[in-house]
Chains A and B, each alone.
Chain A
Amino acid sequence: AQKVTQAQTEISVVEKEDVTLDCVYETRDTTYYLFWYKQPPSGELVFLIRRNSFDEQNEISGRYSWNFQKSTSSFNFTITASQVVDSAVYFCAYEKGTGANNLFFGTGTRLTVIP
């Protein structure tokens, strides 16, 4: 069965520091998708990125970057120059095939950015 592990339960950083959120997954599938979501205090999940298993290119979007390494089954998320607005719970998720029923979430990492 698929499994997503976010070992970091809570992280605190001072504003402007860089922070990396770890995500490790287990699977025997060859085709799958990996996601990151942000859940601010308001509650809704905000989609950040989806990568498919055949695309190991790192991605950068503003202060956000993602490092996907199949060799270590990891899909880590780095926030550069963190800001207070980055404070949220971040979820890594795995999707086999397509469909909400195939979407499995990690337990989340609560990030607190201290001004």
Chain B
Amino acid sequence: KAGVTQTPRYLIKTRGQQVTLSCSPISGHRSVSWYQQTPGQGLQFLFEYFSETQRNKGNFPGRFSGRQFSNSRSEMNVSTLELGDSALYLCASSSQPGDTDTQYFGPGTRLTVL
């Protein structure tokens, strides 16, 4: 069974630009969560999607948005990039929301904002 895949793996953008990151969950998993990992703030929850609906959102500004498609693939978008958005963005999938003990993480997308 293929794991969680994230594309692209690395991305370099400049301030003010926008970026879209993609996450393909494990086959059969319908819940996708996103996390941001930075040296200063550590690992923080961004969003959780299930059946194309956002169930929860972390404490992030409106510049951070996401969506989930009918095939459970998810995208997150960050608009008007700031230097502080440089981070590793991790996606995790599970069968059901709340299954934190059976969620599988992808390798992440490392975003660098210059």
Task: Give residues 34-82 of B contacting A (CB, 8 Å).
Answer: 35, 42-45, 48, 55-58
Provide the bound-state CA to CA distance between A42 and B57, in Å. 26
Q: How large is the interface on A (under 10, 10 to 19, 20 to 34, 35 or more residues)?
A: 20 to 34
Q: Which residue of B lies closest to A99 (CB)?
A: B98
Given known contacts A91-B43, A98-B100, A103-B100, A44 and B33 CB-to-CB distance under 8 angstroms: no
**CB-CB < 8 A to A42: which residues of B?**
107
**CB-CB < 8 A to A33: which residues of B?**
100-101
**Of the candidates B48, B88, B108, which one forms a contact with A99 in the assembled complex, judged by CB atoms under 8 Å apart?**
B48
Give the A-B pair count, Cβ closer than 8 A.
64
Cβ–Cβ contact B92 & A99, under 8 A: no
Verify if A114 is at the interface (C-beta below 8 Å from B). Answer: no
Instruction: Pick the most buried of B42, B44, B48, B57: most chain A CB atoms within 10 A of its CB.
Output: B42
Verify if B21 is at the interface (C-beta below 8 Å from A). Answer: no
Verify if B103 is at the interface (C-beta below 8 Å from A). Answer: yes
The distance from the CB of B91 to the nearest CB of chain A, in whole angstroms, is 10
Provide the bound-state CA to CA distance between A86 and B98, in Å. 28
Task: Name B's A-contacting residues (CB within 8 A).
Answer: 3-4, 33, 35, 42-45, 48, 55-58, 88, 90, 92, 97-108, 110
The 6 closest A-B pairs by CB, nearest first: A101-B56, A98-B98, A100-B33, A105-B43, A45-B105, A50-B101
